[in-house]
Structure 1
Amino acid sequence: MTTRTIAIHHVTAALRGARRRGLAVDPLLTAAGIAPVLLAQPRARVTADQFARLVKGLWNALDDEFLGFGADRSRRGTFATMGLLAVHSPDLRTALQRAASFYALFADTDADTDPLRLEVVGDTARFAARLSMVDDPDHFLTESVLVIAHRFANWLVRTRIPLLLAEFDYPQPAHRAEYDLIFGCPQEFGAPRTAVSFAAAHLDRPVLQDEASLAGFLHRSPADLLARRDYDRTVGARVHTLLARAVRAGAASPSGPGLPGLDEVAARLSVSPQTLRRQLREEGAAFSRIKDQVRRDAAVAALVAGRESIEELALRLGFSEASAFHRAFRRWTGASPGSYRAASAPVPR
């Protein structure tokens, strides 16, 4: 799985319901290994593991799988009960229909506004969410439900189901770039609905999980699904994966060949450099920005882990000197590497 970091925006958004319920959030942040002071840094990032621990902590503290956003609590175990219905379904279509019907039982709405709905139009399936929230201006819960539903569907049929489109019935937000990492597909804002679409043929896939495997899945928690950023359908995501693998393999060490350049990445993807540039440009991406994202995410993860000095980290990421790394890291996150690591709480073991 490609290692990616999570924008502090999502951390702040996840805490909104807990704060509305009067819960002290600083202890939860610290327990997750996230320093509360990072909330004041708009460009700060956290690791996927930190974010997953935070979501689990919020679930436990609130006894609410909707994280305090709903008018009523969705008590812990609700998702597990829905999962039992899903794994005893013959195919994905039935599983998703049962999931939608299950959650409709808890909604104070009429049949035309069920919180979740599976629709099929021609050869395209659409899973839509319309949640009645008390206070969710960031649309965090609605988007989270769609992400978890899609990745749960992948798990049920043991196949990655590529998303064709993600639609949102609200304007494009300031953190628009994060949506590529979350959904890995084209997005449309200001749409008539909030939904994700995929090829309807996947609905006929048989469910390949059972109660035993569900127990293992629940032990890892759906929070892990929410924290993942491992899509590689777009060209930009595939480039990101190749560069991230190079960092993990130590290819960016001073004694190694360094991060592969655009020409080498193009060769690995079996296209010309010119074609790769054009494909990235059509997606609104650029090789240099993706390279920055890979280095940024690796730097954040390393600073949180705290197992190497800043000088060693700078060299491992391919910077000629520590000062260049300091400048780059401040540009990425708004903080120096030293202050960021000092602010980060120890990762729980």
Structure 2
Amino acid sequence: MDMARRTITVHHVRAVLRGAERHGVDTVPLLQAARIPPLLLGDDRARVTAPQFARLFRELYRATQDEFLGLGSAPSRPGTFAMMCHAALNCRDLGAAVERGVTFYGLFPGGPDLALTRTEHTAVLTVRTDLDQDFFLAECLVIIWHRLCNWLIGRRIPLRWAAFAHPPPPHRDEYELLFGCPVRFGAEHTGAGLAPHWLRAPLVRDEDALAAMLRRAPFDLLSRRDYGTTLAEQVRRALATALRTSPRLPSLGETAARFALSPATLRRRLAAESTSYQELKDAVRRDAAIAGLAGGREPIAELAARLGFSEDTAFHRAFRRWTGTTPGAYRYASRDGDPGQRS
């Protein structure tokens, strides 16, 4: 869940609500507090912005008083993650810190079943959770543990692969961009692999740095932009940067030249990562459109022009294709039905 600029699929919104719903919490006020229209949850194509999802995450944390948001078979009391980090901070290297964290969570009945295994060529962190019907908790734990490891050593650790012990979800095309590595579904365990030499890296953080990180955890670890190792993610970031300064996105040839590739090679490598240049351009425009509609008062016609649409009708058609609704209806719903905000 790279939440920094990318929008989040409604599948993740439904999944993060599941634990609270199971415990009888009324989630409609939480959605409203996060400024997410409850009606959006009925459309598989709907998406929300990173700030909306962050607010929902925090509302759920307050409502459940559970660091796992009610998604596990037993609650994790607030402060548990912080104590695990304190326990791991003074270890000799990253491998020892991860093993201490695994041991720490193993002390809690009903907690996630974490394991670190090492071979000559790969280190593997696996995660198993109970009652996690949408697999959201297990996926979040993989991301959080990976990014915590990055933070502890002050370097980005590229993942070799990520595997998930569940069938491919409807939004499976987003996983390689999300995890920055090849992914597979239907595996024996959920987890991720990395080169074993990273486990010998020394920890570089102190108590003050930990205190600062914990003030923003865990959502900061979920939203931190630690990936970007795939070509698709690098291209997407370049397109998003270009769109902030000009409505005209660079052509395939221009982008290929920027990455010192031929257009044919760029096209082929993106296809190998299960995407295309046009899909990446659409995704960048989609996310910018959703962010503009949910978070600002810019007239829809001006937003369409800023995103490179020569006509309002073309923007409306594209937005309906992306989200299943019109720009005006999306903005209206995001403003809790305040007609004064509708453009």
TM-score with structure 1 setting the length: 0.92
Per the alignment, residue 316 of structure 1 pairs with: 306
Determine if the alignment matches structure 1 residue 263 to structure 2 residue 253. Answer: yes
How far apart are 1:226 and its partner, in Å?
2.1
Q: Which runs of 5+ in 1 are unaligned?
A: 253-257
Per the alignment, residue 191 of structure 2 pairs with: 195
1:223-262 CA distances to partner (integer Å, 9 max, x unpaired)?
Answer: 13224566211111111010001112x221xxxxx11111
Find the residue that maps to 1:119 and give its secondary structure: strand
Aligned match of 1:160 in 156, 159, 162? 156
Find the residue that maps to 2:172 and give its secondary structure: coil
- Higher-RCO chain (CA-CA 8 Å, sequence separation at least 6): 1
Q: Compare 216-225 and 196-205 and name the one that shifted more.
A: 216-225
Per the alignment, residue 98 of structure 2 pairs with: 96
Per the alignment, residue 255 of structure 1 pairs with: none
Structure 1: how far apart are the matches of 2:25 and 2:335? 20
Aligned match of 1:181 in 157, 177, 183? 177
The residue correspondences of 1:73-152 to structure 2 (distance < 5 A) are 73-108=75-110, 115-131=113-129, 133-134=130-131, 136-152=132-148
- The answer to whether the 8 Å contact 2:168/2:185 transfers is yes
Find the residue that maps to 1:220 and give its secondary structure: coil
Task: Give the 4+ runs in structure 1 shifted more than 4 A.
Answer: none
- The answer to whether the 8 Å contact 1:4/1:229 transfers is no
Find the residue that maps to 2:117 and give its secondary structure: strand
Per the alignment, residue 210 of structure 1 pairs with: 206
Per the alignment, residue 305 of structure 1 pairs with: 295
Q: Which amino acid aligns with 1:336?
A: T
Find the residue that maps to 2:171 and give its secondary structure: coil
1:189-228 CA distances to partner (integer Å, 9 max, x unpaired)?
Answer: 1212111111111111111111111111111121132245
Per the alignment, residue 268 of structure 2 pairs with: 278
Structure 2: how far apart are the matches of 1:236 and 1:39? 28
1:166-210 CA distances to partner (integer Å, 9 max, x unpaired)?
Answer: 111222222211212321211111212111111111111111111
- The answer to whether the 8 Å contact 2:289/2:303 transfers is yes
Per the alignment, residue 220 of structure 2 pairs with: 224
Q: Which amino acid aligns with 1:189?
A: F
Structure 2: how far apart are the matches of 1:296 and 1:341? 14
Structure 1: how far apart are the matches of 2:321 and 2:20? 31
- The answer to whether the 8 Å contact 1:184/1:234 transfers is yes
Find the residue that maps to 2:250 and give its secondary structure: coil
Q: Compare 181-190 and 267-276 and name the one that shifted more.
A: 181-190
Structure 2: how far apart are the matches of 1:202 and 1:345? 46
Over 3 Å counting, the alpha-carbon distance change for 1:208 and 1:103 in structure 2 is: same
Find the residue that maps to 1:89 and give its secondary structure: coil
Structure 1: how far apart are the matches of 2:79 and 2:88? 14
- The answer to whether the 8 Å contact 2:152/2:203 transfers is yes
Identity of aligned residues (%): 51
Q: Which amino acid aligns with 1:4?
A: R
- Tell me the C-alpha RMSD between the 2 structures: 1.6
- The answer to whether the 8 Å contact 1:3/1:230 transfers is no
Structure 2: how far apart are the matches of 1:333 and 1:97? 43
Q: Compare 61-70 and 16-25 and name the one that shifted more.
A: 61-70
Per the alignment, residue 237 of structure 2 pairs with: 241
- The answer to whether the 8 Å contact 2:72/2:110 transfers is no
Q: Which runs of 5+ in 2 are unaligned?
A: 337-343
Q: Which amino acid aligns with 1:329?
A: F
Aligned residues: 334
Find the residue that maps to 1:117 and give its secondary structure: strand
Structure 1: how far apart are the matches of 2:85 and 2:110? 22
Per the alignment, residue 342 of structure 1 pairs with: 332
The residue correspondences of 1:24-43 to structure 2 (distance < 5 A) are 24-43=26-45
Structure 2: how far apart are the matches of 1:57 and 1:345? 18
- The answer to whether the 8 Å contact 1:158/1:208 transfers is yes
How far apart are 1:26 and its partner, in Å?
1.2
Aligned match of 1:251 in 232, 246, 251? 246
Per the alignment, residue 17 of structure 2 pairs with: 15
TM-score with structure 2 setting the length: 0.93
- The answer to whether the 8 Å contact 1:167/1:196 transfers is yes
